[in-house]
Each structure stands twice: as C-alpha cells, then as structure tokens.
Structure 1
Amino acid sequence: MTFRIDRRGLAAALAAACVALAAPAALAQAPADKVVRLLVAGPPGGSLDVVSRLLAEGLQKELNQTVVVESRPGAGGAVAVNDLLQAPHDGNTLVVALDALVSEIPHIVKLRIDMAKEVRPLVELARGGIVLVGNPSVPAKTLAELVAYVKASPGKVSYASYSAGTISHVMGLQLNKAAGIDMAHVGYKGTPPALVDLMGGHVPLMFAGIPNAVPLIKTGKIVPYAVSLPQRSPNLPNVPTFAELGYPQLEALVWIGLFTTPDVPAAAQTRMRDATLKVMAQPATRERLREFGLDAGQPRTADELTKSLRADHERVGAVLKSIDFKPE
C-alpha cells in the first residue's frame, strides 16, 4: 500500500435487520444496463487500485451490473473527485480514495472545492497504519533507545515522510512534542524514493505505510520501532504500538474508502453500501487484503466515517498550523 500524495501533481453493523431483509429485493431490481464506475484516486498497481479491483469483482456479482475500474490519479484525489462531480449523481459513479482526501489534502493543496462538502464516505473498505522504521545502522533497537539517541543529538537526526503535510509528516511532529525531541523533517515525493534513501542510509528514520514496510522489515533491510494502530498489526505481531509505549497521541489509522456525493438518492446510497459491505465481508476478500498487508475495513456508518474525517482534518490542521505550514 502506498500512502502517497504528490503535492505538485495536484488528491456499527453491516446493516440493520430490516435493511438486510430488503436488500435482496433492491439488488434484484438493479439496472443491469447501467455501468458502475469506480474512479481510483491513485495510479494503476497501487493499493487503491488493488482494493478497487477486489471490490469490482464482487460488486459485479452482487449488483448484476458491469463494474469498471478507472484510474484517476493526480492532485491528491481532486482529479477523481472532479470526474465524480461531472458524472450523473445516480450512485453508479464512485471514488475509491484514502481518507486523506478529506482529512489531509485540503491542508496541503489549495483546492477550488470543499472536499468535506462535495464527497460523502459510504464504506471503509480497508485499513492500515503507519510504522516508524529506521536504517539498521541507527544505534537503537527500541523506541525508548531511539528517543534517547535523538535527544543526545538535537536537530541532527532526521526522518522522512512520503510527502510534506501528510500523516507521515505529522506523526514525526507529534513524536517530537510528546517525547521532547527534535527530529528534522525530510519530505519526499512518494514512498518508494523515501524507502530507497532510508535503506541507503541517506535518511535514518521514516514514518512509512505498514504494507510498504513489511517486506523490508522481514528481510532485515529496515528496523521497526512502533506502529500507529490501536492494536498490534497482524503483519508485525512483535512490533508494539505507540500507545503501548506511552505515546497514545500517535495512534492513527489510514483507511481506504468508497466515496459518493451527498446528493445521490438515499436508496441508491443504501443499495451500494449494502452490496459493498457484503463483498468486503467475504472471507476470501479479507484474506486477499491481508496478503497485501491490509486489514478489512470496519462497518462504520457513513455518518461515523464523516465524523472521523472531520476530527482527523482538525487534528492534522492543528499540528500543521503549529509549524506555520502553508498549502501550495
């Protein structure tokens, strides 16, 4: 999974019982001649693309409709959202994007639209987290040792993020404040170049997406210190959470969502949400997500997801404001 934003390029239950009983009838009346379009706010081959194709495969069977996946990378998701807004608002065109679409992008890039008002999250498809990793040459094997090492060299130890203004940047700022240390930030244009420099020793630390880091951790090319998830990652069971180590403020989820527009008819939103939840709950789908380093999303309601995005947007904004960060 690549939690990547190109700054220059500028991105509860499954259903109540009564809804569940009504779903088969709704699906049976699906307009088979209508094509469902999943607009992916990321490049082909990335995590958003992989999750979208898993979803498309299942939706095609559930909805009895043709489902196509269309890559729409650029502008941190704004390109995909622009296409969504121009399409008929009938529920058959949706965007697959990171939660950063609403929580981070508005702080990073000057947009002509208000993401929080233009899009509505329907379903949390998959979730992951961030892991603090280091080059093996760093003389610290635990987070406590790392904090002591950084304190001994204030301003001389740097950390990489996959893009300035993103959660991988913000988490470093939060650790600085919580631990009383002074790591310098080095922003990159995506995860791959940052990991290359990390392995090469050009930057000693990085806050990286767990799926990207797991293969390198398992081969010993980088060393993990802590993960941002509420519980330990099944992919890194021996790596503690930040909360376990005394830094609960560094708990953070990164999730992939299915987004629509708020004005899509409620019945169409319910139909798509119910079908999507059914697909994502299938054991085979969950296993394929796990193989890719992701956990299945939780069946949070659209209102719960909206509330979460609003809270994350405010939290990220407050941290960035503290360093006088300005959007491009």
Structure 2
Amino acid sequence: MKRVPLIARQTLALAIAVVPLLSTAPAANAAEWPAKPVRIIVAAPPGGTADIVARLFAHALQSPLGQTVIVDNKAGAAGTIGVHGLLSAPRDGYTFLLIQKGIASEVPHAMHVSYDPFKDIVPIAQLTRQGLVLVGHPGLPAKNLGELITYVKANPGKVDYANFGVGLRGQTIGVQFNRLAGLTTGTVSYKGSPPALQDVMGGHVPLMFDGPATSLPFIKSGKLRAFAIAYPKRIPALPDLPTFAELGFPDLKEVSWMALWSAPGVPPAVVAKMRDATLKAMQTPEIRQKIEDLGMEVGSPATSEELSVDVRESYERQGKLLRSINFKPE
C-alpha cells in the first residue's frame, strides 16, 4: 500500500478542519450583524420626500440595530446613480437603497439602464404607499373633476399636463385618463416635480398629476386646486378629496410605493433582520403620523416576493402604455 507523504496528510487534515468553520462563517456574520454603521443610499437630493422618509427610518432603526444608520444621498439620472451605488458596494448587508418602485417598473422604459430591474435589485420592505393627485391652477374655471372634463373637452388640444419626467408614471397616467374620459391634451415634461409645480402655479401649464408629498403644501395654501387622487381610497391628509374610482374611473387606482432595496447575494439572515427591524419601526406612532402628514400611508408588510410581483405587473402596464404612444427611451 502506497504511503501518503506527511506534508500531504497534514494539509488534508487542515482542510478537513477548516471546512466546518467556512460553512458556518455566513451564519456567524449574520449573528453578529450589524457590527458597524449601516448605510442607506437615497437616490434623491437632501430635503426631498425620499430623503425625509430615509431620515425618519434611519433614526428609528438605530435603537433596534444598535448601530448608527447613515443616509447617503446619491441623486441624479432618474435614480440610477443610487442603484449603481448599491451595486458597487460589498454584498455584506451594510448598504441598502431607498427608492420608489418606479426605479424598476418605470425608469427602464424611460431610458437605457445598465442594470436588470428584476435581477440586480430586490425590494425587501415597503415603507410608504401613495397615489398621484390631479392638481391644477386655481384660476381654472373648473371646480371639480366633472367640470374639468367638460372644460377640457370644450378646448381640445389646448390644455396641457405638466409631468415630472418623460416616460414616467406622471406622464402615462395622463394618457390613461385621457382615454378613459375621452379627452385630448398635450404634455410638457420637466426634470422633477418642483419645476413642474412652479409652472402650474404660475399658470404656464394648467394641470399635473403629482405625488401628494410635493403638492400637498400648495393644495392646502390654495396655490393649487386638487381634483381627485388615483388611489384605492381617500387619504388622511386630504380627507375631502375624492378618488378617481368614486368619480367613475375605477382603473385609476395604482399604488406607488417607496421601499428599502437590497442587492442579491446579501446573506438572507441579514436581510431578514433588516426587514424585521424596518417593519417594527413602521408601526411606531411617530413614523405613522409623519408619513401621513406627507400625504402617504405607511407601507404594508408585503413579502419581498409579493413586492417583486407587483413591480413586474407595473412594469408590464407601463410598457404597454408607452408602446401605445410610440414612446422611445432616451
């Protein structure tokens, strides 16, 4: 029988001893997580809605996680800079992304992106839910949605919508509403809600579909008139504002949401810990009230798989609408 050299036997023994240690390393890391500050990338500038939400959760998560939670703003390119920041970080569970679901369901239709929206980013916890509000200049002769439809029909092609980004939901919901109501309008695209809202309030463009968080202060101050909200129910911040469904347009109820996202490859136990801590934070009265004050609702406890299905369905609907108007991505 051929003898195995001593060095070879020692090497084999060492390898056998190390294998169990290697197999338990991820579990040990997950048990110790977080051992250093956690970073949340926000694909938006400081002071914006996403930034406000991120800082609310960063503060609320510090106690249960036992670590500082840092908000890192990486705005630009419709959120794709934030996505690249997430994907370039180590997959160790210390970097997450906070952004709207549109980063996966809308942006890939609107522009050429270098990431796969269904493979490269994973929604792990829904933070907020919101709809889009149809707002207009207060000088419009219409006081409600019925009067607005009558007014637009009497002025075919003379009334425009402002939108917060070409190829995004703010544009395509106008297309959808026009078809349902039998209207003919134009559209004017802007880079974000603030400049679009300024032109609506200035009387340069009469109408816009906008998120409640950015339009709410102007609605309450009388600088904008709200006609209806595309959401399954009325929202606490605008209890007198009817939904489109109440007014005869049940198809206009899609829910937009903001979520915490992870890159694939992060240890599942770490993702589960972050998700659980986030869901618990959402139930605190302070978080719930502040999110309602922004014109939104606290997110649901939907699973990552359920959120991914919703993203896919929204992606398909958005693509169909854009193809119907022969839209070409930038």
For residues 88-129 of structure 1, the C-alpha deviation after alignment (integer angstroms, 9 at most, x for no partner) is 112221000111110110011101221221000001111222
Task: Give the conservation status (yes or no) of the 8 Å contact 1:150–1:182.
Answer: yes
In the alignment, which residue of structure 2 is the partner of 1:66? 68
In the alignment, which residue of structure 2 is the partner of 1:275? 277
Provide the rounded CA distance (Å) in 1 between the counterparts of 2:251 and 2:218: 26
For residues 243-277 of structure 1, the C-alpha deviation after alignment (integer angstroms, 9 at most, x for no partner) is 11111221122211100022222211111110111
1:166 to 155, 164, 168: 168
| TM-aligned CA deviation for residue 29 of structure 1 | 4.1
Give me the identity figure in percent.
47
Q: Which amino acid aligns with 1:138?
A: L
In the alignment, which residue of structure 1 is the partner of 2:232? 230
In the alignment, which residue of structure 1 is the partner of 2:108? 106
In the alignment, which residue of structure 2 is the partner of 1:149? 151
In the alignment, which residue of structure 1 is the partner of 2:268? 266
Q: Please state whether the residue corresponding to 2:61 is helix, strand or coil.
A: helix
Judging changes above 3 Å, is the alpha-carbon distance between structure 1 residues 28 and 321 closer, same or farther for their aligned structure 2 residues? closer
Q: Alignment length, in residue pairs? A: 303
In the alignment, which residue of structure 2 is the partner of 1:182? 184
Q: Which amino acid aligns with 2:324?
A: S
Task: Give the conservation status (yes or no) of the 8 Å contact 1:228–1:250.
Answer: yes
Task: Give the conservation status (yes or no) of the 8 Å contact 1:53–1:69.
Answer: yes
Q: Which amino acid aligns with 1:228?
A: A
The 5-angstrom pairing of residues 70-219 of structure 1 reads 70-219=72-221
Provide the rounded CA distance (Å) in 2 between the counterparts of 1:288 and 1:239: 20
In the alignment, which residue of structure 2 is the partner of 1:306? 308
In the alignment, which residue of structure 2 is the partner of 1:19? none
Q: Which amino acid aligns with 2:136?
A: G
| TM-aligned CA deviation for residue 155 of structure 1 | 0.8
Query: Normalising by structure 1, what TM-score?
Result: 0.89
| TM-aligned CA deviation for residue 294 of structure 1 | 2.4
| TM-aligned CA deviation for residue 312 of structure 1 | 0.6
Query: Normalising by structure 2, what TM-score?
Result: 0.88
Q: Please state whether the residue corresponding to 2:63 is helix, strand or coil.
A: helix
Provide the rounded CA distance (Å) in 2 between the counterparts of 1:89 and 1:27: 12
In the alignment, which residue of structure 1 is the partner of 2:24? none
For residues 157-204 of structure 1, the C-alpha deviation after alignment (integer angstroms, 9 at most, x for no partner) is 111111111111111000111111101111111111111111111111
Q: Which amino acid aligns with 1:115?
A: P
Q: Which amino acid aligns with 2:281?
A: V
| TM-aligned CA deviation for residue 151 of structure 1 | 1.1
Q: Please state whether the residue corresponding to 1:138 is helix, strand or coil.
A: coil
| TM-aligned CA deviation for residue 86 of structure 1 | 1.7
Task: Give the conservation status (yes or no) of the 8 Å contact 1:27–1:62.
Answer: no
Choose 231-240 or 259-268, whichever is displaced more. 259-268
Q: Does 1:220 align with 2:222?
A: yes
Q: Which amino acid aligns with 1:275?
A: A
Judging changes above 3 Å, is the alpha-carbon distance between structure 1 residues 265 and 200 closer, same or farther for their aligned structure 2 residues? same
Provide the rounded CA distance (Å) in 1 between the counterparts of 2:168 and 2:282: 27
Provide the rounded CA distance (Å) in 1 between the counterparts of 2:145 and 2:178: 13
| TM-aligned CA deviation for residue 53 of structure 1 | 1.1
Q: Please state whether the residue corresponding to 1:203 is helix, strand or coil.
A: coil
In the alignment, which residue of structure 2 is the partner of 1:18? none
**How large is the RMSD of aligned CA atoms in angstroms?**
1.6
| TM-aligned CA deviation for residue 27 of structure 1 | 12
Q: Please state whether the residue corresponding to 1:258 is helix, strand or coil.
A: strand
Provide the rounded CA distance (Å) in 1 between the counterparts of 2:29 and 2:59: 16
Q: Does 1:289 align with 2:291?
A: yes
Provide the rounded CA distance (Å) in 2 between the counterparts of 1:136 and 1:45: 26
Choose 229-238 or 290-299, whichever is displaced more. 290-299
In the alignment, which residue of structure 1 is the partner of 2:12? none
Task: Give the conservation status (yes or no) of the 8 Å contact 1:30–1:63.
Answer: no
Larger radius of gyration: 2
Provide the rounded CA distance (Å) in 2 between the counterparts of 1:42 and 1:109: 17
In the alignment, which residue of structure 1 is the partner of 2:324? 322
Consecutive unaligned residues in structure 2, runs of 5 or more: 1-27
Task: Give the conservation status (yes or no) of the 8 Å contact 2:34–2:67.
Answer: yes
